[in-house]
A and B are shown apart, each in its own frame.
Chain A
Amino acid sequence: MTEFLSAVAGHAFLQQALLAGALASLACGVVGTYVVVKRISYIAGAIAHSVLGGMGLARYLAVAHGWGWLHPLYGAVAAALVAAGIIGLVSLHARQREDTIIGAVWAVGMATGVVFIALTPGYDVQLMSYLFGNILMVTPGNLWLMAGLDLVVLAAALLLYRQLLAVCFDQEFARLRGLPADLYYLLLLGLTALTVVLLSTVVGIILVIALLTLPAATAANFCRRLGPIMALATALCLGITWGGLALSYGPDLPAGAVIVLLAGAVYLASLGLGRLVRRG
């Protein structure tokens, strides 16, 4: 651990990685809580995987067509929002086919990404870092984009707290009260999409679903109100990303995978601990 701390002091890339983890944790705690209580983690999974399509396309355009400014993260944001829009509209208007469409968006998005990465000229090691994340390769430019996404997500999720709560708790009733419930549902999926992109920089798109839901699910074992769950989930997410980064540094393991393993271990421990707390 002391080795990791002295390395942090000496290396800018580690400081940037820690900062990226912190930025991702803010959105993770707040939006992850909405995802868990609304029970839409499967939708978040589909959005996460479809992000590969956007990343692959952006990478292809950047390399093959010289659109150098088009960072894969921009493609990720666009793909995530499109996927959220498709799934949201389908689930609002054609309920009985919702699971089919979610599965289709999931796989078609990934397939699009794989094809564009294959079309991209040159040897491309990026596929693995899209899939499993590489928090150590975060650049200052990425950090600014992440901060911007954070600002949007947190502002919307906190300023519209009451409306999002009402839509998560009882969408039918919210609609009856004259609230534009469908619009808020789509907004919630949009916020989920942006958060997925933020977290994918840390753990990659395959593992993102664990980091989005496990801290919130862990926090829900200890708190019985939305606000405290959000606060605890944010703290847990921060501890887990930083802890995973530190644990992976010494033995040179992939940081994303170690972070997700740590999230899983913390959740398992909380199940036992939560039972003890309730019994006591």
Chain B
Amino acid sequence: MSGVRVLVGTRKGAFILESDGLRKKWDVSGPFFGGWEMYHIKGSPVDPNRIYASQTTSWFGQLIQRSNDGGKTWDPVGNQFNYDGVPGTHQWYDGTPHPWEFARVWHLEPSLTDPDKVLAGVEDAALFESTDGGMLWNELSGLRNSGTGPSWQPGAGGMCLHSIIVSPKDPDRIYIAISAAGAFRTDDGGKSWRPINKGLHSEGIPDEDAEVGHCVHHITMHPSKPDTLFMQKHWDVMRTDNAGDSWVEISGNLPTDFGFAIDVHAHEPETVYVVPIKSDSEHYPLDGQLRVYRSRSGGNEWEPLTKGLPQENCYVDVYRDAMSVDTLDKCGLYFGTTGGQVYASNDEGDSWEAIIQNLPAVLSVEVQTLA
């Protein structure tokens, strides 16, 4: 029988939840790496037993952990992330030049075809690649050196490269997003990049046509439509149907279009989910009601999904990498909160259940659908 493995990264360790295809009863293991910040944990699509994890603290720096047995055991692999050449500078918060400094790995994106190949998005923003299972990391420096790098500026959470999407139809096409620089695309496997931010409007940027500087919170894509991306920007939910050449707003009837998490239904490329957050100064749901919003029309028309979610006195946040879907029928959805709950739906979001509570603040949720 098929099953699901949910990989949960928290502020103080990692947890793994497993269930059969019914997704009603969950076995929990962990904490793994107790006390460490687990920014992201993700499994290889071609070998579900191969899982990569980003482990970090301010005290002892960055480690990358790798499991070859589905998360039962782990071993540290390479943790040297050296910028290619002379790193140069980007803009600091006050507009002065600031040297590029590695802080941590925000996102790990295993290859769609090779379990030893994995991309890492890091702070200060750069993209690294390993082709040997995470032992050695080399920067794809064409991104930082694409021309706009010196003008990039950090967001409140740091200048992080947090989203990586490899096109399933063309492995040389990769999309990434950086806070607060924007979204970028390569069509040659990472050698050259260009900003793809036309149509984004940000109130903090005086130039309406600014090429970079946009605080993109997350981007997502359905594998069957690799030219269509959905974006949760700082404010605004956006979509593109031409691989980022231009974006249109699809916030429609959302009660607030600020947020972090966004994902697409596994079987319906026009069904999109977001978790609206009140505002950039109040990072919790509107009116204390935790609501996922679903659009079955690719945006603009959104419906609140509330069954099983707290509808009063709820003041948690849902971070950008803390939402994921499984590929079972019906599609399952999962998201984690800063209050330490992981909510799951086994019916496309119609109803929800907390499959674990009282964890440390959840930083990331990834799901593996097991054969």
Chain A bound to chain B: no
> CB within 8 Å of A: which residues of B?
none
Chain A residues proximal to chain B, CB less than 8 Å: none
